[in-house]
């Protein structure tokens, strides 16, 4: 649990904010020097997401999506804008959101809102989103804040909407990264937090074809 590795909550959040302020506003910066895996990541995410967007009585809509920890909009540009009518972005670093406006190009006109906010303080608009996409950012929240945020995400879903988490998973327990002030949890810890938030897991998938030296990455869909 993060309570075992996060000694000072205020410091945990402020150190992370400071870290990201110094990161270049590029795809490579967003991916910690692994910009070359972006296409593999996006293609897998698209396949994962499209299974919920296909025809059927419980089909997830394509009106509006929310990109959490959006950075410069890598996922908004290549995954969400091609599939949804409008997208909202939220990130703690204003410079990234400013850069997003040029990075997204013409299609960026369909981004309705750019929210500059840490997810621990952010509340999605109730009953507004078909998909809330949360990638490579849950490690910046304590367990309690993550559980509370997921509860607010649940309230932010439209009928048949889903919350998606895609993130690194530790082999066992919770590992602290002092460099960017984040934690990496194992699968059991993440599943427990999801259940605690009152969400039901619909699908879980391990990312393939990523470099061997990085953490295993898993994608979860829930509502």
Annotated binding site: 69, 74, 91-93, 119-120, 135
* Inter-residue contact 6 to 12 (CB < 8 Å): yes
Q: How far is CA 110 from the centre of its chain?
A: 19
- The DSSP-derived string for 177-196 is ETTTTEEEEBHHHHHHHHHH
- The DSSP-derived string for 119-149 is GGG--PPTT-EEEEEEES-GGGS-HHHHHHH
Distance (Å, rounded) from C-alpha 100 to C-alpha 91? 11
Distance (Å, rounded) from C-alpha 197 to C-alpha 183? 19
Distances from the Cα of 77 to the Cα of 57, 66, 106, 108, angstroms: 28, 12, 10, 8
Distance (Å, rounded) from C-alpha 95 to C-alpha 79? 21
* DSSP run (H or E) holding 20: helix 9-21
Distance (Å, rounded) from C-alpha 90 to C-alpha 35? 21
Distances from the Cα of 116 to the Cα of 82, 113, 154, angstroms: 23, 10, 21
Provide the annotated binding site for S-adenosyl-L-methionine. Answer: 69, 74, 91-93, 119-120, 135
What end-to-end distance do the CA atoms of the chain give, in Å?
23
């Amino acid at each position: 649990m993060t309570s075992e590795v996060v000694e000072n909550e205020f410091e945990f959040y402020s150190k992370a904010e400071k870290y990201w302020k110094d990161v270049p506003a590029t795809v490579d910066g967003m991916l910690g020097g692994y910009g070359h895996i972006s296409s593999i990541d996006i293609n897998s995410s698209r396949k994962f997401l499209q299974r919920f967007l296909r025809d059927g009585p419980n089909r997830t809509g394509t009106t509006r999506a929310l990109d959490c920890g959006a950075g410069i909009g890598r996922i908004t540009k290549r995954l969400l804008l091609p599939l949804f009518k409008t997208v909202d972005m939220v990130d703690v670093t204003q410079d990234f959101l400013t850069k997003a406006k040029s990075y997204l190009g013409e299609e960026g006109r369909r981004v309705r809102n750019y929210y500059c906010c840490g997810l621990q303080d952010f509340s999605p608009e109730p009953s507004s989103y078909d998909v809330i996409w949360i990638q490579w950012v849950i490690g910046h929240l304590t367990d309690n804040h993550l559980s509370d945020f997921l509860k607010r995400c649940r309230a932010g879903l439209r009928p048949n909407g889903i919350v998606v988490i895609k993130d690194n998973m530790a082999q066992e327990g919770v590992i602290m990264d002092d460099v960017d002030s984040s934690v990496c949890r194992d699968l059991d810890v993440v599943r427990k937090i999801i259940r605690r938030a009152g969400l039901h897991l619909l699908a879980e998938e391990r990312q393939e074809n990523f470099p061997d030296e990085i953490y295993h990455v898993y994608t979860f869909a829930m509502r």
